[in-house]
Amino acid sequence: MTSGVGGTATWRRSIALDRSYALLELPSATDAAAIAEASGETVYAKPVIALALFPAVPEALSPLVEALAGAGGPAGVLSCASRAGAAIVEWDPEVTATPVIVELIDLELARFRSARIAELLSPLPASLLARIAAEGLQAPQIDPNRILELRIDRA
């Protein structure tokens, strides 16, 4: 994590996939379009989840990408492409909830009786981490102040 005047940047890099993601927590007046123009990279104005999915059955890769990015795919999917044997999906969790994406992935892979390995590519803000944990564990009392790893990072 890097901190500067006005905000922080948290980075995640996948060497195997040659992908890097940054979570920029900046003042609200910051212009995402200006950052995109200056960097030459894709910039989303709010946090997104980027996940790499490696199907155990290689034949499942193309249909998985099609299910996520093709016609009829979830509205929140911003991008989905195959790279180095993985489907890399980026989505807006405010538009499509994480369980919907995960269920679709598992449903599509079940057609091939394929397991998967998933790698989180993007750093996530504490509020989103807490929400995903609360949904997944069915424990609405989880908030960022109750996640030990986040408390340690702030210490």
Summarised one tens digit per residue, pLDDT across range 1-38 is 555 557 788 889 999 998 999 888 877 656 777 777 88
Predicted local distance difference test score (pLDDT) of residue 34: 78
Confidence of residue 97 (pLDDT cuts 50, 70, 90): very high
| Conformational region of residue 85, where left means phi above 0, alpha means psi within -120 to 50, and beta covers everything else | left
Q: Domains in the chain: how many in total?
A: 2
Asked whether the predicted pLDDT for residue 126 surpasses 70, the reply is: yes
Place of tokens 């509205």: 75
Rounded to whole angstroms, the Cα distance separating 79 from 53 reads 13
Q: Mean pLDDT across the stretch 78-91?
A: 96
Predicted local distance difference test score (pLDDT) of residue 155: 57
Give yes or no: residues 81 and 132 share one domain. no
pLDDT tens sequence across 39-69: 888 888 889 999 999 999 999 999 999 999 9
Q: Mean pLDDT across the stretch 81-87?
A: 96
Please give the residue range of the domain that contains residue 71. Answer: 2-124
Predicted local distance difference test score (pLDDT) of residue 29: 59
Give yes or no: residues 14 and 87 share one domain. yes
Predicted local distance difference test score (pLDDT) of residue 147: 79
Give yes or no: residues 28 and 40 share one domain. yes
Radius of gyration of the chain (CA): 17
Which residues, 6 or more positions from 140, have their beta carbon under 8 angstroms from its beta carbon? Answer: 134
Return the minimum-mean-pLDDT range out of 69-73, 132-136, 137-141, 150-154. 150-154
Give yes or no: residues 118 and 138 share one domain. no
Predicted local distance difference test score (pLDDT) of residue 96: 96
Give yes or no: residues 56 and 13 share one domain. yes
Structure tokens at 11: 């980075």
Give yes or no: residues 79 and 36 share one domain. yes
Taking each continuous run of H as one helix and of E as one strand, the counts in the chain are: 5, 7
Q: Strand ranges (DSSP E) for the chain?
A: 2-4, 7-14, 19-25, 49-55, 77-83, 86-91, 116-120
Give yes or no: residues 111 and 137 share one domain. no
Give yes or no: residues 118 and 134 share one domain. no
